[in-house]
Amino acid sequence: MRNLRAILIISLMILNYYVFVESGDLSTAPALYLFGDSLLDGGNNNYLPTVARVNYPPYGTHFPQGSTGRFTNGKTVGDFIAESLGLPYPPAYLGPRERGVLTGLNYASGACGVFENTGKRLGLCLTLDDQVSLFNKTIEEELKGKFKTEKELSDYLANSLLVMYTGNNDFLHYVRANYSKSAGIPKDHQQFSDVLLHHFYNEFQKLYSLGARKMAIFEIGPLGCIPTVIKRYGTSEGCVEDINRMVTYFNGELEIMLSNLTSTLQDSSFVLNPAYSSVYDAIKNPTKYGLTDSTKPCCITWGNMTSTCVPLLPPCHDYQKHFFWDSLHPTEAANFLASKHFKKSTFSSLHLV
């Protein structure tokens, strides 16, 4: 009986642990800061002179606050990560918000990327360098006055989670300018990736110098599988695997770079979230994830499945079964799947549980 009782107690302890991990109650992150493009944008582009805005229905159809500027029908993957950490959704830096908020901010900007010229044909947006500069401004003008000592601020920054999801638009811009179905992969694609990696490296160094220590970076997803790319460059065979091969090369080099940064920058953790494989599998095997459509947008889009949703037109009725919301962006259902994979692959690596 004594042994049985011991086994039951241990079993209950293990069960409670996993319950808490799933709910995020064991999180040690006081704040969540988001950097990236439209996959994380929580409304910053609403306050910029750009046509890359989605502050109108059907965007936000299934989000409690409606059309906030999120490039999906509901929550972004960043929203789901915040929920897992027990934190509120990080408000858009440029939007109406409380100054000096200690639970994090969202600097992400749709259409933008790492390179200065990415997305600028659509108007003004915040590059990754712009976003890192705003993070620095946040520290100097809003956070320093909230802490009694420099050590308290340092501990806060070191324990906060920074999530980055960018580079997608840089690749799409490169593909638009250099890829053709007849020629295939451009010969200089590795050089392009190396230059992009160099820019990433500089921004990571800046964030570390500002006090950040826990950084999670999403891989570039299988861009050859998104509707707009297939429509422009694909065939009846589905994903444009040439473009996916360029992305996988970059992701491999990014993983090496992040590992080197973690080993050389004291007390740092740069964790790569393996988004490519999970997204690719969900697109290729949608029923495995409770989806029925992984190729067509849920909303009616401009440009024959190559752009964003046409304003005010109703979306598909089975939106929770679609992977893509418009021709570029995932649905809330797909974002939820991505966030579950993020928690499983990333939280423990960053000691968040």
Ranges of beta strands (E only) in the chain are: 32-36, 161-165, 214-218, 269-273
Query: Which is catalytic among the residues 38, 67, 268, 269?
Result: 38
Query: Which is catalytic among the residues 37, 79, 242, 326?
Result: 326
Convert the pLDDT of each residue in 285-325 to its tens digit: 999 999 999 999 999 999 988 999 999 999 999 999 999 99
The answer to whether 281 is a known catalytic residue is no
- Banded model confidence at residue 351, pLDDT cuts 50, 70, 90: confident
The answer to whether 349 is a known catalytic residue is no
Residue 203, number of CB atoms within 10 A of its CB: 18
Q: Which of 28-37, 70-79, 274-283, 343-352 has the lowest mean pLDDT?
A: 343-352
pTM of the model: 0.92
Query: Which is catalytic among the residues 199, 322, 329, 341?
Result: 329
- Closest Cα to residue 268, out of 338, 206, 188? 206
pLDDT at 3 over 80: no
Residue 217: which residues within 8 A CB-CB, separation 6 or more? 163, 164, 165, 254, 258, 270, 271, 272, 273
Mean pLDDT, the chain, whole residue set: 92
What pLDDT is recorded for position 184?
A: 84
Convert the pLDDT of each residue in 18-77 to its tens digit: 333 343 344 579 999 999 999 999 999 999 999 999 999 999 999 999 999 999 999 999
Crossing angle, helix 241-264 and helix 275-284, to 10 degrees?
Answer: 150
What percent of the chain is modeled with pLDDT above 70? 92
What own/partner pairs with CB < 8 Å and gap ≥ 24 does 50-57 have? Answer: 50/110, 50/111, 50/119, 50/122, 50/123, 50/124, 50/125, 51/122, 51/123, 52/110, 52/111, 52/119, 52/122, 52/123, 52/125, 53/110, 54/110, 54/308, 54/309, 56/311, 56/312, 57/311, 57/312
The answer to whether 351 is a known catalytic residue is no
**Contact 275/218 with Cβ under 8 angstroms?**
yes
pLDDT at 231 over 80: yes
- Banded model confidence at residue 353, pLDDT cuts 50, 70, 90: low
pLDDT at 185 over 90: no
